Amino acid sequence: MTLTAENVFDKLKEELGDAILNYEFKEYKMGVKKPRTYKEIWMEIDKNAFRRAIEAIFKIEYPHLHFITGEDIGESIRMIYSFGLFHEHPWGEVSIVIKFDLPKNKLVLPTITDLMMGAETNEREIREMLGVEFDGLKNKRHLFLPDDWPEGKYPWRRDEYGVDDMIKHTHKSVKDIREERGEQNG
């Protein structure tokens, strides 16, 4: 049996209480001849309640993980988790997006790989790209970046830990490099 977006939210609210800082139901109209609306739940939560929120979702039904991503917003990293519930039912999927800010001086999150093995890929990517450490993640090998990638450089970061210096170097022209070396141009 499926639940509506409102019912799912009520269940999450019961578990999380005040840890939900902000929420919104986004409504979209889909279809031309038989237009119907479907709703997505977008909520901002307290970062300390993250594990509780994930467990609450798993309690309702085993979800499908759409993606995990993060954004460097200055002082902190905004994490975004997107799950889909009731994905085996026509028109029934309830999409839940959970957002929270993680301060840069304490970039640690509990892993969800113990609940869902498939989340390993996502967590490994976030770890190497943003430098977020996942507590309990077993395989900490690089996913996309080479094994000898310089430590402490995270491609998605926009601060001093990002790869700006490397990118600048990549776009240097042959002329610039020859000038730096004192070689003759031409």
Partner 1 sequence: MAKTTYYVPIGPIHPALKEPIRVEAEVEGEKIVKVDVKRGFAHRGIEYMGMKRNAIQTLYLSERICGICSISHPYAFVIGSEKALGIEAPPRAQYIRTIIAELERIHSHILWLGVIAHEIGFDSLLFWTWKGREKVLDILEAITGNRINYSMYMIGGVRRDLKESHIRVLKDMITYYWEFTEHMKEVFLSDPVYKARTRGVAQVSKDVALKLNLVGPTARAAGLRMDIRQDIPYDAYADIDVKAVVPQDIVGEARGDAYDVTMVRIYEIEQSLDIIEYCIDNLPEGKILAIPNYIALLNKIKKTEGEGIGAHEAPRGEVVHYFRYDGTRDGPAVWKVIAPSYNNINSWGYCLLGAEVADIPVVVAYIDPCMCCNDRVAVVKDSTGKILDYSILHRKAVEKTRALEKELGVMK
Give 31's Cβ-side CA count (13 Å radius). 7
Stretch 8-47: interaction string toward partner 1, x if CB under 8 A: ------------------x-xxxxxxxxx-x-x-------
Q: What are phi and psi of 40, to 5 degrees?
A: -115, 145
Residues in CB range of 6: below 8 A, 6 or more apart: 25, 39
Tokens at 121, concatenated: 């890929």
Which secondary structure element, helix H or strand E, spans residue 66, and what is its range? strand 64-72
Stretch near partner 1 under the rule CB under 8 A, chosen from 6-14, 44-52, 57-65, 101-109: 57-65
User: Residue 161, interface with partner 1 (CB under 8 A)?
Assistant: no
User: Residue 174, interface with partner 1 (CB under 8 A)?
Assistant: yes
User: CA torsion sign, 134 to 137 to 140 to 143?
Assistant: negative
User: Residue 76, interface with partner 1 (CB under 8 A)?
Assistant: no
Stretch near partner 1 under the rule CB under 8 A, chosen from 5-13, 14-22, 43-51, 65-73: 65-73
Q: Which residue has the tokens 């970046």?
A: 145
Q: Which is nearer to partner 1, 21 or 65 (CB)?
A: 65
Applying CB under 8 A, the residues found at the interface with partner 1 are: 26, 28-36, 38, 40, 62, 64-67, 69, 71, 80, 82, 84, 86-93, 95, 97, 116-121, 141-146, 148-149, 155-156, 169-174, 177
